Amino acid sequence: MPAMKRWLWSQSLQRKTILGMVLVGLLPLALSLFLTYVEERRALREITGSNFKGIAVEVARKIETQIMRGINEAQQLATIPFIRAAVKEANRSYEGRESEKIKAFIEEWKERWRARKNPHEFPAFVNRIATNYLVDWHAVRKSDYLGILVTDNQGALVLSSLPQVRFYHGDTEWWEAAFQQGQGQIYVSDLTFDPSFGTHVLNVAVPIFDQGRHQALGTVSIVLRRDSLFRSISEVTAGVTGHAMLIDVDGTPLICPVLSLEQHTANPAMVTAINEERAGWVHVTQDTHGARDSLVGYAHLRIPETLATESFRGRQWLTIVRQNPQETYAPLRQLLVKVAMYGVVVLGILWLAGLVVARKLVSPIQTLHEGVQRIGAGNWDHPLVLKTGDEIEALSHAFNKMAVNLKQSFSQLNTQMAEIRLLEERYRDLIENSPEMIHQIDKTGRFVHVNQTELEKLGFTLLEMLSMHLWDILPAERKAEALDYVNRLPTQPRSSLETVFLTRDGTPIDVEIHSTALIDSDTGDLVYTRAFVRDVTERKALQRQVDRYTTHLEQEVTAQTQQLSESEKRYRVLSEELEEKVQVRTLEIQKTQKYLESLLENANDVIYTLDRDQRFTYVNNKVENWGYRKEDLLGRPFLTLLAKRHRSRRLKDILEFEVKQEYEVEVISQSGELRSVLVSVSPLENERHNVIGVLGIARDITDRKLMEEQFRNAERLASVGKLAAGVAHEINNPLGGILNCLYNIRKGTLPSERQEEYFTYMEDGLRRAQKIVRQLLDFSQQHEPEFSMNDVNGLVDRVLVLTNHAIAEKRLQLHKVYDDDLPPLFVDPQMIEQVLTNLILNAVQATNEGGSIILQTRTAHERCEIDVGDTGSGIDPEVRPHIFDPFFTTKGTGEGTGLGLSVSLGIVERHGGQLTVESEVGKGTVFTVSLPLSANRAALVKVS
């Protein structure tokens, strides 16, 4: 019957274990399936949405890049001098005409444009050079551009890259938006169908401004192909069904590589969600293709230019990326199927594992129960043997150890007693052979034990010592202190005593006794005293010797103290004499100081000193001529007195390199007047030759510079006479030829061919006179430079684009040596391009066929230098002083006006720079344009 109960009990425990394991595994499995679905759906949306957002941003940047390239290239064309000149020439034809006459004039030219014989060729009246330049430009961008148009301030066509365009554009939306009644703005059109091109186009138009960018002269329009935008969008995909689209903020589709634009639907909820300024992604109930539960990534186009409000028809563009939801959520469905299959497998594994675990748990517990009963009965020779590898096995080991420990307890006690006896013998040996004397005495002072060391020191045997008291081995005069020492041991368990022991032969030994008393805890009586005795005989002898040395040293110190006292008296007398001499020398220094201060204060120049922080530490009264008080300047920075363009590193260089310098600056007086000052500065050093500041002498040279300016003005008046004579001579030559041709034509005897030839001569003469007048205007007007940061090497390359044809015609070799580390310069790019164009063309004209043109950029002495060199004939030394004079030229009649170098020199000087020349006859010439590196806008405007 008990066996049956045990079996039933074990079967019940087994079923409970299996059921518990299955339930514990099933609940987390079901929860994990639900959480997996929720989390994976969220994660899938996050990952896919972020991916769609990135693709939308990528497509938006591509489209922005294409539009910006069109804008930048249109702006670049608008700044090319000969294109701007062609537009100015066209605008000049409207001067002096009323609006009705201007319209009639445009209609006349429009009719001439339509009436040309071949519509695929340009008419003869267009500017061929500028037109060919646009045609070449268009050929390079043919895959992206449909055409390039240039119009004047009335909307009439001036230049075009292809002849199949309309002549008048003043009534078009793009021209009105870009010209803006002369204000000028950048315009980008919507995607529209252009019948003349037979395709959808995007029009990018920019204004052409005058030199001062105050008035729009005309416009440049670049017509972009829709296909180039379509390629940028269609190249980007997301999976099999995912793609990008271009729409506006109202949801109107502009470009879609999958469906036609009419098949799209605009979901208002989606349009509202994607109108946020930042790029992102949204979950929409319906996308533009009609798909439900869809993810859409979006990004707005951001053009980094200020556009006309009419651009994109007032509606911003954005790119979106969408995908078929079936493809989007396919990974989630596959994951759920796999997880469910895994769950069924895990459930079966849990049932089998529960069965195995239950059997392994019940059997060891029964065995453990039987073993514990045997141990409880006192049977220690039958250990429990369980191999479960868990806490049950550890519990069986604990019971086995308990039985073993009980069995070994008595044997361990016997072993410990033997070890204690062994330790006692070792401690006794340690005491007996200690290098110090050790003994024990009872409360009467009798020796109870004495170690071998003390017996050997005193010469007594152990029996003799055990029969003696402590005072028996002391001199008679010290017995009283020994009795006192023994009597106070009960009250002072730890005490010390210095005394003398007598050996058997009566030899005294100086000793120190350190004792510890053992007190009976019950009665409080002294049981015995343990004492450690140390032989200090040698130490006492050494101490007596030190006392003798100390006495001798005190006597020596007393003698030296007397000598020091006498020396102090002599020093006091010497100090009084020295103090009198110092007072006399101080008076002499004060007189010298007053004399020097008088010299400094009455000097004709401003004399000052600065500390290492460039602050005034001294300034004489001469500074009052500038309206300042010397008290107000002390501690004030020196640079606050200077004009901004003179606040350079010179003073820091003096402090760092300790070099004397002299230079000219402008000082601002108290009233705000600029005074020209010649400054001479040198470092100030202390007695250790360390630089502690600066000594400066400032001489006011304003009046002298005014006289020099008056002298230069007188020289300029003399140059005006030469200029007038040059103008008269240069204009008189073509006018004389024109008058001669008119005279012959009026006679009426010339054939028509000859008359046409005379008209050509007259037109050439008038153009030459016009060119002279324009260059004279450029020379005389001196427009204010429009400064901006520019790459010097880029300026040189842009000039080469305009002058390469001249270099190629003469088969010249071009050598470019650029400094790639040049910082940007603050210059007027059009003016500097004009200077470089003039210098390069002069070099080409001066070089024979097969020669070389050398262009070099570099930095030197905080300046940027641009060299334009050639291997031509060089400049005659007699001619060189006059090459910058107006109307001075060595070219033949009709080949030059002599104003190019004069205008170039004026431009460079207005930039705060220098134009120099080095030439050797027969070897060549090098012109160097030197411009300041670190000039700011205020300084350059001041110079100009």
Say whether 290 sits in a helix, a strand or coil: coil
Q: In this model, does residue 457 exceed pLDDT 90?
A: no
The closest alpha carbon to 233, from 253, 252, 218, belongs to 253
**476 or 559: whose pLDDT is higher?**
476
Say whether 611 sits in a helix, a strand or coil: strand
Q: At what angle do helices 2-78 and 128-140 cross, to 10 degrees?
A: 170
pLDDT band, very low/low/confident/very high, at 729 (cuts 50, 70, 90): low
- pLDDT, mean of residues 373-388: 66
Could you give the CA distance from residue 661 to residue 659 in angstroms, rounded to a whole number? 6
pLDDT of residue 354: 67
The closest alpha carbon to 134, from 151, 119, 117, 118, belongs to 151
pLDDT of residue 208: 93
pLDDT of residue 6: 45
Domain definitions of the chain by residue range: 58-327, 433-535, 544-601, 603-699, 701-781, 783-943
Order across the sheet with 437-441: list the strands.
Answer: 447-450, 437-441, 526-535, 508-519, 494-502
pTM assigned to the model: 0.40
Could you give the CA distance from residue 918 to residue 921 in angstroms, rounded to a whole number? 10
- pLDDT, mean of residues 150-155: 92
Q: In this model, does residue 393 exceed pLDDT 60?
A: yes
pLDDT of residue 728: 64
Ranked by mean pLDDT, the top range of 269-273, 432-436, 757-761 is 269-273
**722 or 829: whose pLDDT is higher?**
829
Q: In this model, does residue 923 exceed pLDDT 70?
A: yes
- pLDDT, mean of residues 798-822: 87
pLDDT of residue 739: 75
**361 or 96: whose pLDDT is higher?**
96
Q: In this model, does residue 941 exceed pLDDT 50?
A: no
Give tens-digit pLDDT for 851-880.
999 999 999 888 999 999 999 988 888 887
Could you give the CA distance from residue 750 to residue 580 in angstroms, rounded to a whole number? 119
Rounded to an integer, what is the distance from CA 890 to the centroid of its chain? Answer: 54
Q: In this model, does residue 352 exceed pLDDT 80?
A: no
pLDDT of residue 871: 92
- pLDDT, mean of residues 88-105: 89
Give tens-digit pLDDT for 734-749.
776 677 778 778 777 7
264: left (phi over 0), alpha (psi -120 to 50) or beta: beta
Which helix (H) or strand (E) is 586 found in, with range? helix 537-601
Say whether 782 sits in a helix, a strand or coil: coil
**511 or 369: whose pLDDT is higher?**
511
For the 783-943 domain, the top CATH level (class) is alpha beta
Give tens-digit pLDDT for 590-637.
777 777 777 777 777 888 888 888 888 888 888 888 888 888 888 888
Ranked by mean pLDDT, the top range of 574-588, 786-800, 880-894 is 786-800
872 contacts 850 by C-beta, under 8 angstroms = no
Task: Spell out the residues 6+ positions from residue 100 whose beta carbon is closer than 8 angstroms to its own.
Answer: none
Q: In this model, does residue 939 exceed pLDDT 50?
A: no
**696 or 362: whose pLDDT is higher?**
696
pLDDT of residue 362: 64
451 contacts 436 by C-beta, under 8 angstroms = no
Could you give the CA distance from residue 853 to residue 814 in angstroms, rounded to a whole number? 5
Task: Let me know how long the chain is.
Answer: 944
Give tens-digit pLDDT for 166-220.
889 989 999 999 999 989 999 998 888 888 788 889 999 999 998 888 899 999 9
Give the phi and the psi of residue 533 in degrees, each rounded to 5.
Answer: -110, 125
Tell me which long-range contacts 499-502 makes (C-beta under 8 A, separation of at least 24): 499/474, 500/474, 500/475, 501/457, 501/458, 501/473, 501/474, 501/533, 502/473, 502/474, 502/475
pLDDT band, very low/low/confident/very high, at 940 (cuts 50, 70, 90): very low
Q: In this model, does residue 782 exceed pLDDT 60?
A: no
Could you give the CA distance from residue 471 to residue 634 in angstroms, rounded to a whole number? 92
Residue carrying the six token digits 């040189």:
796
Beta strands 852-859 and 813-817: pairing type?
Answer: parallel
Fold for 433-535, please state it.
Beta-Lactamase (3.30.450)
Could you give the CA distance from residue 746 to residue 751 in angstroms, rounded to a whole number? 12
When the candidates are 3.30.450.20, 3.40.50.300, 1.20.120.1630, 1.10.150.120, the CATH number that belongs to 603-699 is 3.30.450.20
Could you give the CA distance from residue 381 to residue 378 in angstroms, rounded to a whole number? 9
Spell out where 417-481 has E strands: 437-441, 447-450
pLDDT band, very low/low/confident/very high, at 772 (cuts 50, 70, 90): low
Q: In this model, does residue 924 exceed pLDDT 90?
A: yes
pLDDT of residue 658: 61
pLDDT of residue 1: 42
Cα diameter, the chain: 177
* Per-residue buried b or exposed e for 383-411, using 16+ beta carbons within 10 Å of the residue's own CB: ebebebeeebbebbeebbeebeeeeeeee
- Tell me the CATH architecture of domain 701-781: Orthogonal Bundle (1.10)
**69 or 891: whose pLDDT is higher?**
69
Reported as half-sphere exposure (CB side, CA atoms, 13 A), residue 359 has a value of: 5
pLDDT of residue 379: 65
Mean pLDDT of all residues belonging to the chain: 80
- pLDDT, mean of residues 882-892: 68
pLDDT of residue 916: 92
- What CATH code is assigned to 58-327? 3.30.450.20
| Fold match flag (603-699 vs 701-781) | no
Q: In this model, does residue 429 exceed pLDDT 80?
A: no
164 contacts 193 by C-beta, under 8 angstroms = no
**219 or 709: whose pLDDT is higher?**
219
Task: Spell out the residues 6+ positions from residue 147 whose beta carbon is closer than 8 angstroms to its own.
Answer: 138, 160, 161, 162, 165, 197, 222, 223
pLDDT of residue 891: 66
